[in-house]
Amino acid sequence: MESSVRNHYHASNLMEKIDAGLTAAGKNPQQLDIRDLAPVDQLHTGGIRGTQALLEKLDIPAHFHVLDAGCGLGGASRLMADTFGCRVTGIDLSPDYIEAARVLTRRTGLSGRVQFETGSILALPETIGPFDLILCQHILMNISDKPAAARQFSRHLLPGGSVVLHEIVTGSHSALSLPVPWAASSDISFLEPWEMLLTGFTDNGFTLETFFDATVMGGRYWHKAREFALKNQKTADSPRPLGPHLVFGDIAARFPFTMSQNFESRAIRLIEAVLRHDRSLTR
């Protein structure tokens, strides 16, 4: 199953595409601010503003070591390191993403605080960590055995460490419009209700500390994306130089329509939660 997920996120010549997009956008690819990359490295619901709002609630101490689980191109990893001065390790299944994440992190001057590893959160390397905090942002929808992920997190957290979830879960309506950013077909989409997801963590020693239903915010984000896409269709404008199409190809043009439909039909919800584990490091 992980091979199918890896194939979904495969992006050939990714850095060449990003460099071309940066140049077309009037940016110097060799000297970047992290916000220059937001249209292509913050591809989750809410974009960089959603991540910033989430991190503002956390106020991560500078001495923390954070794991960015399923880091993609490293956008959230760099944002955490730049905002709080903390140390971050990002891990992702896709070698294409990790290669690009390393290059972009070097160009933003953050290599001293951010490192990346290719791997699965279901088999975290024993050589990484331990961590004070784990960010799990839009990754569990591709994992069928979510309790296994919770067990891995608990093994790599310092005592009293926390997991921060920013995830898509199922809503009250079961029919999912495809494709979506995490799946072109249903065989790699493993959404489940929030209550089931929570149980997978509480059964593994986690306690829910905070919860926020961000569904309305998520719906607004994709509604605006759909309006922008429709405007581009009417004016026959080409895509912006930087955007999801650099990673996902032509299929990305459908995401604003399917995702806005999924929120409107209540097929999905967007949740934020912090779960603490007081008995970690049971390696």
Statement: residue 235 has pLDDT above 90: no
Strand order in the sheet with 114-118: 114-118, 87-92, 65-69, 131-137, 157-170, 268-277, 206-213
Of the candidates 121, 108, 115, 109, the one whose C-alpha atom is nearest the C-alpha of residue 89 is 115
Domain extents in the chain: 2-277
Q: What's the pLDDT score for residue 7? A: 83
Using one digit for the tens of pLDDT, what is the confidence trace for 12-53?
A: 899 999 999 999 999 999 999 999 999 999 999 999 999 999
pLDDT of residue 125: 92
| Confidence grade of residue 277 (pLDDT, cut at 50, 70, 90) | very high
The token duo for 259 is 């995702």
| Lowest-confidence pick of 7-16, 83-92, 120-129, 251-260 | 7-16
Nearest CA to 271 out of 42, 46, 43 is that of 46
Q: Is the pLDDT of residue 8 over 70?
A: yes
CATH architecture observed for domain 2-277: 3-Layer(aba) Sandwich (3.40)
- pTM for the full model? 0.94
Tell whether the model's pLDDT for residue 92 goes beyond 70: yes
